[in-house]
Amino acid sequence: MGITQTVYDGALSVPLQFGGDLIELAILFLVLAIIAAVAGASGVAGLSMNIAKWLVIVFIVLAIVTFVL
Protein backbone atom coordinates (compact mmCIF):
# COMPACT_ATOMS: atom_id res chain seq x y z
CA MET A 1 0.00 0.00 0.00
CA GLY A 2 1.35 3.38 -0.95
CA ILE A 3 0.43 6.90 -0.04
CA THR A 4 -1.96 8.53 -2.46
CA GLN A 5 -0.65 11.84 -3.75
CA THR A 6 -2.86 14.55 -5.21
CA VAL A 7 -1.75 17.64 -7.10
CA TYR A 8 -3.74 20.88 -6.66
CA ASP A 9 -2.60 23.81 -8.83
CA GLY A 10 0.94 22.49 -8.98
CA ALA A 11 1.16 21.83 -5.20
CA LEU A 12 1.53 18.27 -3.98
CA SER A 13 -0.92 17.24 -1.25
CA VAL A 14 -0.17 14.10 0.78
CA PRO A 15 -2.68 13.07 3.46
CA LEU A 16 -1.49 12.44 7.02
CA GLN A 17 -1.35 8.67 7.30
CA PHE A 18 0.63 6.74 9.86
CA GLY A 19 -0.45 3.22 8.99
CA GLY A 20 -2.37 2.73 12.23
CA ASP A 21 0.74 2.65 14.42
CA LEU A 22 -0.78 4.96 17.03
CA ILE A 23 -3.90 2.89 17.54
CA GLU A 24 -1.84 -0.31 17.71
CA LEU A 25 0.36 1.23 20.40
CA ALA A 26 -2.73 2.40 22.29
CA ILE A 27 -4.15 -1.13 22.26
CA LEU A 28 -0.78 -2.50 23.39
CA PHE A 29 -0.64 -0.10 26.35
CA LEU A 30 -4.27 -0.89 27.21
CA VAL A 31 -3.51 -4.62 27.34
CA LEU A 32 -0.38 -3.88 29.40
CA ALA A 33 -2.48 -1.81 31.81
CA ILE A 34 -5.04 -4.61 32.22
CA ILE A 35 -2.33 -7.21 32.84
CA ALA A 36 -0.57 -4.90 35.33
CA ALA A 37 -3.85 -4.22 37.15
CA VAL A 38 -4.57 -7.95 37.48
CA ALA A 39 -1.02 -8.51 38.72
CA GLY A 40 -1.46 -5.76 41.34
CA ALA A 41 1.00 -3.22 39.89
CA SER A 42 -1.28 -0.20 40.13
CA GLY A 43 1.46 2.31 39.28
CA VAL A 44 2.33 0.60 36.01
CA ALA A 45 -1.36 0.12 35.22
CA GLY A 46 -2.16 3.79 35.77
CA LEU A 47 0.79 4.98 33.70
CA SER A 48 -0.06 2.57 30.88
CA MET A 49 -3.68 3.75 30.87
CA ASN A 50 -2.55 7.39 30.65
CA ILE A 51 -0.25 6.60 27.73
CA ALA A 52 -3.02 4.64 25.97
CA LYS A 53 -5.49 7.50 26.53
CA TRP A 54 -3.16 10.10 25.03
CA LEU A 55 -2.29 7.89 22.06
CA VAL A 56 -6.00 7.47 21.30
CA ILE A 57 -6.53 11.24 21.57
CA VAL A 58 -3.63 11.93 19.20
CA PHE A 59 -4.93 9.26 16.81
CA ILE A 60 -8.42 10.79 16.75
CA VAL A 61 -7.09 14.33 16.23
CA LEU A 62 -4.85 13.22 13.36
CA ALA A 63 -7.70 11.22 11.82
CA ILE A 64 -9.99 14.26 11.92
CA VAL A 65 -7.26 16.47 10.41
CA THR A 66 -6.71 13.90 7.66
CA PHE A 67 -10.42 13.71 6.81
CA VAL A 68 -10.88 17.49 6.84
CA LEU A 69 -7.85 18.24 4.70
Task: Return d(Cα 52, Cα 4) in angstroms, integer.
Answer: 29
Q: At 12, is the pLDDT very low, low, confident or very high (cuts 50, 70, 90)?
A: low
pLDDT at 7 > cutoff 80:
no
Domain count, the chain: 1
pLDDT in tens, 14-67: 555 555 677 788 888 888 888 988 998 888 888 888 988 888 888 888 888 888
DSSP letters, the chain, are -----EEETTEEE-----TTHHHHHHHHHHHHHHHHHHHT-HHHHHHHHHHHHHHHHHHHHHHHHHHH-
Task: Return d(Cα 49, Cα 33) in angstroms, integer.
Answer: 6
Predicted TM-score of the model (pTM):
0.61
Instruction: Provide the residue range defining the domain that includes 40.
Output: 2-68
pLDDT on residue 59: 86
